[in-house]
């Protein structure tokens, strides 16, 4: 089915084979064994309509459906301990290719599941998937959040619907010592950004140690970082361009019985420029922007944008102040991210110590063979001069 180049990719255990490396393909999406000449290479989710035509999920022969469900069981078992010890918490149960389940994401918020299916062959198995998730996890509800544009490339419709039980508009879940909100129907991603969970807990620990007076969370969404550091700060400024996200952030602070932060609806680029011009000072600045590089060709432009906000944030730091900065652009490699920070620090005329360099939460597994499974870069910096 695949040509020699496609075979080399699969032998190196990269799961994707593009249309240009396919010699023959079944006419319908499904789960199929993949061969080069007569040699078995993988079991794969195959879609003749999709540019990424083959997405492998196993590299040994076997029954295609059995093997897919085994992978699901394995992913769920790996999170079983966390589920038992923190049922009111949130976690990623399935991280697509990182868990050998192409295009499938399952996030859990306090025993509610939010499922996103981005491959046609797994989409066709949705009823069986919902049954299995129900049998294994007995959740309070399962929501199909099938509204990501990745589905269009697979010829799939966009929709959001409850597939089992009841799923509320807002789910409250615990992260460390705080309550956070996920809005699975209307929020971004599956309702919250679970990939930053461990970095937010690091932020809480750093804030407890450094006791920042004034904090700025510049791309705050529903205030998940801000609420982690707020108990250790005197004053919290929370900024986002989405009024809906800011309203939710206000609720999150109320739920945690914390004083209301200053909520600022603004473009972060404009706000940071104006604050630097006014020589404002913050003891902790958090930058968790959306992806600025959705395609490889965006990287140069994205680097300029990342540098602009980081440079301003560095200028705003009080002596000894902390900058927590992230990039979720897969196309921006870690080396380029650190180089951008080096250039921004140079232009800002600040010396910054690297306190920590991290990635995404451990339940978003990264396969070294599949760089696409890892996308989040995170650095904690301290102004030391
Ligand atoms: C990756 S999310 C932040 C997630 C958040 N830190 C958390 O842990 O839940 C990025 C946020 O930036 C906001 N945003 C995007 N572009 C912006 C801009 N130019 N100015 C202000 N906010 C922006 C989006 O509305 C979104 O809420």
What is the per-residue pLDDT for 294? Answer: 84
Kindly list the protein residues whose Cβ atom lies closer than 6 A to any atom of ligand 1.
192-193, 196, 219-222, 224-225, 240-242, 245, 267-269, 288-290
Nearest CA to ligand 1 atom 26: 221
Residue of 339, 283, 352 whose CA lies nearest to 307: 339
Beta strand pairing call for 262-265 and 235-240: parallel
Residue 117 burial class via C-beta count within 10 angstroms: exposed 0-12, middle 13-18, buried 19 and up:
buried
What is the per-residue pLDDT for 291? Answer: 93
Ligand 1 atom closest to 245 (CA): 27
Indicate the top mutation candidate among 221, 236, 306, 324 to test ligand 1's pocket, ranked by most ligand atoms within 8 A of CB: 221
Ligand 1 atom closest to 268 (CA): 20
Ligand 1 atom closest to 217 (CA): 6
Q: Provide the annotated active-site residues.
A: 328
Nearest CA to ligand 1 atom 8: 224
- Could you tell me which CATH number the domain at 66-172 has? 3.30.750.80
Distance 330 CA to ligand 1 centre (A): 17
> Is residue 231 within 8 Å of residue 222, measured between CB atoms?
no
Strand partners of residue 370: 367
Nearest CA to ligand 1 atom 27: 221
Residue ranges, the chain, pLDDT below 70: none
Phi and psi at residue 27, in whole multiples of 5°?
-80, -15
Distance 65 CA to ligand 1 centre (A): 39
Domain ranges of the chain: 4-62, 66-172, 193-383
What is the per-residue pLDDT for 327? Answer: 97
CA 283, CA 279: separation in Å to the nearest integer?
13
pLDDT in tens, 332-372: 999 999 999 999 999 999 999 999 999 999 999 999 999 98
Tokens of 260: 């209301």
Distance 240 CA to ligand 1 centre (A): 6
Distance 290 CA to ligand 1 centre (A): 6
Residue of 37, 85, 98, 108 whose CA lies nearest to 330: 98
pTM of the predicted structure, to 2 decimals: 0.96
Share above pLDDT 70 across residues of the chain, in percent, rounded to a whole number: 100
Nearest CA to ligand 1 atom 4: 221
Distance 210 CA to ligand 1 centre (A): 25
What is the per-residue pLDDT for 295? Answer: 85
Nearest CA to ligand 1 atom 13: 219
Distance 288 CA to ligand 1 centre (A): 7
Ligand 1 atom closest to 192 (CA): 9
Length of the chain equals 385
Q: Assign a CATH topology to domain 4-62.
A: 2.30.130
CATH architecture of 193-383: 3-Layer(aba) Sandwich (3.40)
Indicate the top mutation candidate among 188, 201, 223, 240 to test ligand 1's pocket, ranked by most ligand atoms within 8 A of CB: 240
């Amino acid at each position: 089915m695949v040509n020699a180049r496609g075979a080399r990719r699969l032998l190196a255990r990269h799961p994707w084979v593009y249309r240009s490396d396919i010699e023959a393909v079944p006419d319908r999406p499904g789960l199929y064994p993949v061969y080069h000449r007569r040699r078995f290479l993988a079991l794969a989710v195959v879609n003749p309509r999709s540019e990424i035509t083959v997405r492998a999920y196993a590299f040994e022969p076997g029954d295609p459906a059995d093997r897919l469900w085994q992978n699901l069981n394995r992913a769920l078992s790996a999170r079983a301990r966390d589920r038992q010890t923190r049922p009111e918490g949130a976690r990623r149960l399935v991280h697509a290719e990182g868990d050998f389940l192409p295009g499938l994401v399952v996030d859990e918020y306090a025993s509610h599941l939010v499922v996103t299916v981005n491959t046609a062959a797994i989409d066709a198995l949705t009823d069986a998937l919902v049954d299995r998730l129900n049998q294994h996890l007995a959740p309070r509800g399962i929501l199909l959040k099938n509204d990501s544009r990745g589905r269009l490339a697979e010829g799939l419709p966009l929709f959001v619907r409850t597939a089992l039980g009841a799923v509320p508009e807002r789910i409250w879940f615990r992260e460390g010592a705080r309550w956070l909100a996920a809005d699975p129907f209307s929020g971004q991603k599956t309702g919250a950004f679970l990939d930053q969970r461990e970095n937010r807990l690091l932020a809480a620990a750093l804030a407890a140690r450094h006791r920042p007076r004034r904090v700025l969370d510049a791309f705050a969404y529903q205030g998940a970082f801000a609420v982690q550091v707020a108990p250790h700060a005197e004053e919290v400024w929370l900024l986002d361009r989405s009024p809906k996200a800011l309203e939710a952030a206000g609720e999150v602070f109320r739920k945690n019985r914390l004083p209301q932060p200053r909520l600022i609806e603004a473009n972060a680029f404009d706000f940071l420029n104006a604050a630097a011009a006014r020589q404002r000072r913050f003891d902790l600045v958090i930058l968790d922007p959306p992806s600025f590089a959705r395609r490889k060709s965006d990287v140069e432009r994205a680097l300029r944008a990342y540098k602009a906000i980081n440079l301003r944030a560095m200028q705003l730091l009080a002596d000894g102040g902390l900058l927590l900065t992230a990039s979720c652009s897969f196309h921006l490699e870690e080396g380029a991210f650190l180089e951008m920070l080096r250039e921004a620090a140079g232009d800002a005329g600040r010396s910054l110590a690297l306190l920590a360099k991290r990635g995404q939460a451990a339940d978003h597994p990264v396969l070294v063979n599949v760089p696409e499974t890892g996308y989040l870069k995170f650095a904690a910096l301290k102004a030391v001069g």
